C-alpha cells in the first residue's frame, strides 16, 4: 500500500515550468496521459457532488470536452448526479494517472451545455450508445436486466432505419472552474503541488502547497 507503481514517473515541478493559464497546463498533462500512461480511458474523472440531503457522492464519468470555459461531460438529466447538480451546482473533479504519478483536482460550478452543442456530441456516439441513452432510465430502480434488454429492443424497433435524435432528458454539463490543483509525486514524499485560483478580475494566481 502507498508505493509507487513500477514504471510510474516521479518528478519535480518548478514554478517556472507551469503555464500561466491552468487549462493550458491541464492540456499538457492530459496529452502526456493520453500518449504515455497506457490507460484505456485517460479521460476518466471522479465527479464529486452533494445530494439534496447534503450527502457527498462520487462516481467516474468521462471528460468529453475542454474549451475556454471549462470541462464537459454528459449524462441523463433524470440521474442521481443530475438531481444532485440541480440541488447544488458546486462540484469537484479528480483525474488520477497512476502510471504518470500525477493527479489533477478541479473545483467549480456546473452549467448545462447548449442544446446545439449536446446535439453535435450525441451525433458522434455509436448507434448502440445512442439507443442506450433512450433505453436507460438512469438511476431508477430496475427489476432485472431483462427489462433493460427489452427496452433496448423497443428502441431498436422505434428507430429502425431512422436517425437517432438526442433524448430531451439527456445532455451535457460544463464545469466552470474556480480552482485547479496539479500534483506530481516526488521521491521520499516530497511531492509537488501547485494550485491555480481564479481571482475576481478573472486572473489566475498560482500557489505552491506543501505535500
Query: Which domains does the chain possess?
Result: 15-122+170-209 (2.30.110.10)
Question: Cα–Cα distance between 163 and 170 in angstroms, integer?
Answer: 16
- Out of 189, 195, 203, 208, the active site residue is 189
Active site residue 189: yes
Whether 5 has a pLDDT exceeding 50, the answer reads: no
Percent of the chain residues topping a pLDDT of 90? 84
Query: Rounded to two decimals, what is the model's pTM?
Result: 0.89
Question: Cα–Cα distance between 26 and 10 in angstroms, integer?
Answer: 17
Q: pLDDT by residue (tens digit) across 56-72?
A: 999 999 999 999 999 99
Q: In this structure, are residues 155 and 173 in contact, taking their beta carbons and an 8 Å threshold?
A: no
Residue of 167, 85, 160, 173 lying closest to 132 (CA atoms): 167
Whether 140 has a pLDDT exceeding 90, the answer reads: no
Q: pLDDT by residue (tens digit) across 103-122?
A: 999 999 999 999 999 999 99
Which of helix, strand or coil describes residue 170?
strand
Q: Quick one: which H or E segment has residue 81?
A: helix 80-87
Residue of 36, 3, 1, 25 lying closest to 187 (CA atoms): 3
- The residues, ordered by sequence, that sit 6+ positions from 116 with a Cβ below 8 Å of its Cβ are none
Average pLDDT over residues 1-21: 70
Q: What confidence score (pLDDT) does residue 1 get?
A: 40
Amino acid at each position: 500500500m502507498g508505493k509507487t507503481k513500477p514504471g510510474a514517473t516521479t518528478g519535480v515541478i518548478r514554478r517556472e515550468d507551469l503555464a500561466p493559464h491552468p487549462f493550458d497546463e491541464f492540456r499538457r498533462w492530459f496529452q502526456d496521459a493520453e500518449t504515455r500512461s497506457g490507460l484505456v480511458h485517460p479521460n476518466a474523472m471522479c465527479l464529486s457532488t452533494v445530494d439534496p440531503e447534503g450527502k457527498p457522492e462520487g462516481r467516474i464519468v468521462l471528460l468529453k470536452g475542454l474549451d475556454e470555459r471549462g470541462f464537459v461531460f454528459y449524462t441523463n438529466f433524470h440521474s442521481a448526479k443530475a438531481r444532485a447538480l440541480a440541488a447544488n451546482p458546486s462540484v469537484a473533479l479528480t483525474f488520477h494517472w497512476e502510471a504518470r504519478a500525477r493527479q489533477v483536482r478541479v473545483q467549480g460550478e456546473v452549467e448545462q451545455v447548449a442544446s446545439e452543442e449536446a446535439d453535435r456530441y450525441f451525433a458522434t456516439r455509436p448507434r448502440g450508445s445512442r439507443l442506450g441513452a433512450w433505453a436507460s432510465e438512469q438511476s431508477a430502480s430496475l427489476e432485472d436486466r431483462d427489462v433493460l434488454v427489452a427496452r433496448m429492443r423497443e428502441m431498436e424497433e422505434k428507430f429502425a432505419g431512422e436517425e437517432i435524435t438526442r433524448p430531451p432528458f439527456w445532455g451535457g454539463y460544463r464545469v466552470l472552474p474556480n480552482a485547479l490543483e496539479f500534483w506530481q509525486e516526488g521521491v521520499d514524499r516530497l511531492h509537488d503541488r501547485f494550485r491555480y485560483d481564479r481571482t475576481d478580475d478573472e486572473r489566475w494566481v498560482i500557489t505552491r502547497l506543501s505535500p
